[in-house]
Amino acid sequence: MDEKLRKIIEVIFTTHEEGEMDCPTCHENLHRLWSLVENGAEISEIVPALAAHLACCPECKEEYDAFTCIMRAEQQGLTSPPEA
Amino acid sequence: MAERILDRTNDEWLAALQGAGEAQAPALDDLKERLQRGIFYYLSRERSDLSSLSSHELEQMSEDMAQDATLRVLNNLDSFRGDSMFTTWATRIAVRVAISDLRRARYKDFSLDNIMADGDFLPASANPLMGERPLSPERVTERNEVLGKIRAALSEVLTDRQFRALYAYAVQGVSLDVIAEELDTNRNALYKLIHDARQKLRIYFENQGLSMDYLINLFGES
Ligand SMILES: [Zn+2]
Distance from C-alpha of B12 to C-alpha of B122, rounded to nearest angstrom? 58
Low-confidence ranges of chain B (pLDDT < 50): 1-3
Return the pLDDT at A13: 84
Query: Which residue of chain B has the CA closest to A33?
Result: B84
| CB-closest option in A4, A66, A79 to B37 | A79
- Cβ contact (<8 Å) for A15 and B198? yes
Task: Spell out the domain ranges in chain A.
Answer: 19-75
Cβ–Cβ contacts within 10 Å for residue B22, how many?
9
Q: Report the candidate in B142, B141, B151, B162 with the shortest Cα–Cα distance to residue B121.
A: B151
Return the pLDDT at B219: 87
Going from the Cα of B108 to the center of ligand 1, the distance in angstroms, rounded, reads 21
Q: Which of the two residues, B52 and A53, has the higher pLDDT score?
A: B52
Fold designation for B112-219: Arc Repressor Mutant, subunit A (1.10.10)
Going from the Cα of A65 to the center of ligand 1, the distance in angstroms, rounded, reads 13
Distance from C-alpha of A6 to C-alpha of B220, rounded to nearest angstrom? 9
**Chain B nearest CA to A3, separation (Å):** 8
Residues of B in contact with A8 (CB under 8 A): 150, 154, 166-167, 170-171
Q: Is the pLDDT score of A74 beyond 70? A: yes
Task: Spell out the domain ranges in chain B.
Answer: 10-107, 112-219
The answer to whether B143 and B126 have CB atoms below 8 angstroms apart is yes
pTM attached to this predicted model: 0.79
Q: Return the sign of the alpha-carbon dihedral for residues B117, B120, B122, B125.
A: positive
Q: Which of the two residues, A40 and B94, has the higher pLDDT score?
A: B94
Q: How many residues does chain B have?
A: 222
Residues of A in contact with B33 (CB under 8 A): 81
Distance from C-alpha of B42 to C-alpha of B65, rounded to nearest angstrom? 12
3-state secondary structure B107-168: CCCCCHHHCCCCCCCCCCCCCCCCCCCCCCHHHHHHHHHHHHHHHHHHHHCCCHHHHHHHHH
| B-interface mutation test, from A67, A70, A78, most B Cβ less than 10 A away | A70
A81 in reach of chain B (CB within 8 A): yes
| CB-closest option in A11, A27, A62 to B170 | A11
B10-107 CATH choice from 3.40.50.2300, 1.10.1740.10, 3.30.428.10, 3.10.640.10: 1.10.1740.10
A38 in reach of chain B (CB within 8 A): no
Going from the Cα of B66 to the center of ligand 1, the distance in angstroms, rounded, reads 23
| CB-closest option in A59, A80, A81 to B175 | A59
- Cβ contact (<8 Å) for A73 and B216? no
The answer to whether B41 and A70 have CB atoms below 8 angstroms apart is yes
Going from the Cα of B164 to the center of ligand 1, the distance in angstroms, rounded, reads 19
Q: Report the candidate in B142, B168, B157, B222 with the shortest Cα–Cα distance to residue B196.
A: B157
Distance from C-alpha of A21 to C-alpha of A18, rounded to nearest angstrom? 9
